[in-house]
Structure 1
Amino acid sequence: MKRRNFLKNSFSMAGMVGVSSLPFANKLDIFSDHRTIAGQNNFKIKYAPHFGMFKNSAGEDLMDQLKFMAEVGFTALEDNGMMGRTPEMQTKIGETMTKLGMAMGVFVVDKGGNGANTLAAGKKEHVDIFLNGCKRAIEVAKRCNAKFVTVVPGDFDRNLPIGIQTGNVIDALRRGAEILEPHGIVMVLEPLSDTPNLFLRTSDQTYEICRAVNSPSCKILYDIYHLQKNEGHVIPHIDWAWNEIGYFQIGDNPGRKEPTTGEINYKNIFKHVYKKGMAENKTFIWGMEHGNARPGKEGEQALIKAYIESDSFEV
């Protein structure tokens, strides 16, 4: 039996009892001759967990967590806090992912735009903070082999008309794109649902801004959890914004947990984007930016099982 099929079958048997019955080190020893090969579940999509998602199964060590992700079959990682890690750790994460055959997803541009320094205000000091973050992100991206960085423009400036605010955001993002584009780095703009004070709220608004910036280094981060809350009608909105989408993130609603725990039909969404991407030779990283619905190892096993189920669409 092929190694990836063996692990996939062992997950599906008895609710994946085999995963929890062995310590992490022993699970790796079963496959010690192929530890650096990702793809045990042969997922169709490049899902990207984050650190801490499997700490009960893999332990606290970040490299052990990466190895566990790869053994399960996940072929990417995202780490919002990468810019806050030491250069040595950033390099170690990048080197380990290369050995494991994993791609780096997004990390957040530090102070790239928030309530305290919103790009909508058009203030030089706010824009300077953002541009400095873009410059520092380049060195971080080189260490961990990243191609995508998350940018959130910040809050509304209630003292300015919306068109003026939009123009201010576009101007700032154009300057950021000029910094990132020579290095092949894409800032992906994330519309959020956390508070009505946030300037960037919908995919069509973000599409309009990306078209105005007019750079391959400025695209949409389509976080399905946030956009299902803000605008719904998910698949049509994906189609409308398709040419400006650079990255996806996952989270079911309500609860912001793994697929199958809420009302969003992720199997259909995954299938739609996968088939549409195949027709255009276009692939995406899908960041697993959500919590675990259940605690402990059992919750981590349930999360893996949810992704196996959601990825089991026919093409």
Structure 2
Amino acid sequence: MTQYSANLGFLWQSLSLPDGIRAAKEAGFVAVECHWPYDEDIDEVTQALMETGLPMLGLNTSRGNVAAGENGLSALVGREHDAKATIDKAIDYAVHWSVPNIHVMAGFANGEQAEATFLENLRYACDQASLHLITILIEPLNHHDAPGYFLQTSAQAADIIAKVDRPNIKLMFDFYHLQIMEGDVCRHFESLLPIIGHVQIASVPDRAEPDSGELNYRYILDRLKKMGYTQPIGAEYKPSSDTIECDWMKALI
């Protein structure tokens, strides 16, 4: 049976993170993950994780100045100091909650200097994270939701991972983003399996519950199991109604 991790960046947004963790437990999720937990009370989140027994699988580095339109800092030339500070902060939170994965966000940038900056910051992230047995993830984002984002394709991500040349950097394979950018997602997944660290799903094109849209996740998840991928699947989708129903999990067993 496929197991799922609730992405609390989208699910139960009306609740505090601790109460979102409790809601995820009640809904049948076996783990949680989040986006940017930095305004939450660390001890209250710790209590909710202990109370429910749910592990937190991942969190993101800060986006930076959201009001100025930033969406990550690690590929931004001239922002290296700020990028490393967001990495350090993410590691502190991850250590506190025993989080195994940190998604280092690249931001809006392009060109060779941006790549060099991203590589430098990722090597720093990997070296610091390795002290705590934490894996660094990078994730391509599609050009409709995040136009101008530095990292947009799985091939680019694979190239970055090879250039960083650290054992604790992996690809976040988000079927929603990569279906939009590339299609042929099962073949891409199989070829990239050795460098995949986490998987996320949502319907395409509306990013809602994964039992609708153009991707057949019943087929896809069966393929993943046959390939030997058995880790919890991140449910990073935007609920189609204010009342969050998780009946889709039963449909995608």
Does residue 1:53 correspond to 2:6, yes or no?
no
Aligned residue for 1:213? 164
1:138 Cα deviation from its structure 2 partner: 2.0
List aligned pairs for 1:135-284, cutoff 5 A: 135-157=88-110, 162-193=111-142, 194-277=145-228, 283-284=230-231
Query: In structure 1, how many angstroms separate the alpha carbons of the residues matched to 2:241 and 2:157?
Result: 34
Q: Percent identical across equivalent pairs?
A: 25
1:89 Cα deviation from its structure 2 partner: 2.7
1:52 Cα deviation from its structure 2 partner: 6.9
> Residues 94 and 209 from structure 1, CA distance in 2 versus in 1: closer, same or farther, beyond 3 angstroms?
same
Aligned residue for 2:39? 84
Aligned residue for 1:307? 249
- Does the 8 A contact of 1:81 with 1:108 survive in 2? yes
The one-letter code of the counterpart of 2:249 is: Y
1:63 Cα deviation from its structure 2 partner: 4.5
Aligned residue for 1:35? none
Give SS of 2:81's match: helix
1:102 alignment partner, one of 29, 44, 54: 54
- Name the TM-score, length of structure 2 as normaliser: 0.86
The one-letter code of the counterpart of 1:107 is: L
- Does the 8 A contact of 2:95 with 2:132 survive in 1? no
RMSD: 2.5
Query: In structure 1, how many angstroms separate the alpha carbons of the residues matched to 2:216 and 2:72?
Result: 36
Query: In structure 2, how many angstroms separate the alpha carbons of the residues matched to 1:61 and 1:191?
Result: 28
Per-residue CA deviation, residues 229-250 of structure 1 (Å, 9 max, x unaligned), is 1111111111122111101111
Per-residue CA deviation, residues 130-177 of structure 1 (Å, 9 max, x unaligned), is 1111212222112222111112211224xxxx3443233212211111
- Name the TM-score, length of structure 1 as normaliser: 0.71
Larger radius of gyration between Structure 1 and Structure 2: 1
Give SS of 1:260's match: coil
1:206 Cα deviation from its structure 2 partner: 0.4
- Does the 8 A contact of 2:17 with 2:45 survive in 1? no
The one-letter code of the counterpart of 2:237 is: H
Q: How many residues align?
A: 248
> Residues 83 and 54 from structure 1, CA distance in 2 versus in 1: closer, same or farther, beyond 3 angstroms?
closer
- Does the 8 A contact of 1:48 with 1:105 survive in 2? no
Give SS of 2:208's match: coil
Query: In structure 1, how many angstroms separate the alpha carbons of the residues matched to 2:10 and 2:147?
Result: 29
Q: Which has the higher contact order (CA 8 A, sep 6+)?
A: 2
The one-letter code of the counterpart of 2:162 is: R
Does residue 1:293 correspond to 2:240, yes or no?
yes
- The structure with more helix, counted as a fraction of residues: 1
The one-letter code of the counterpart of 2:157 is: T
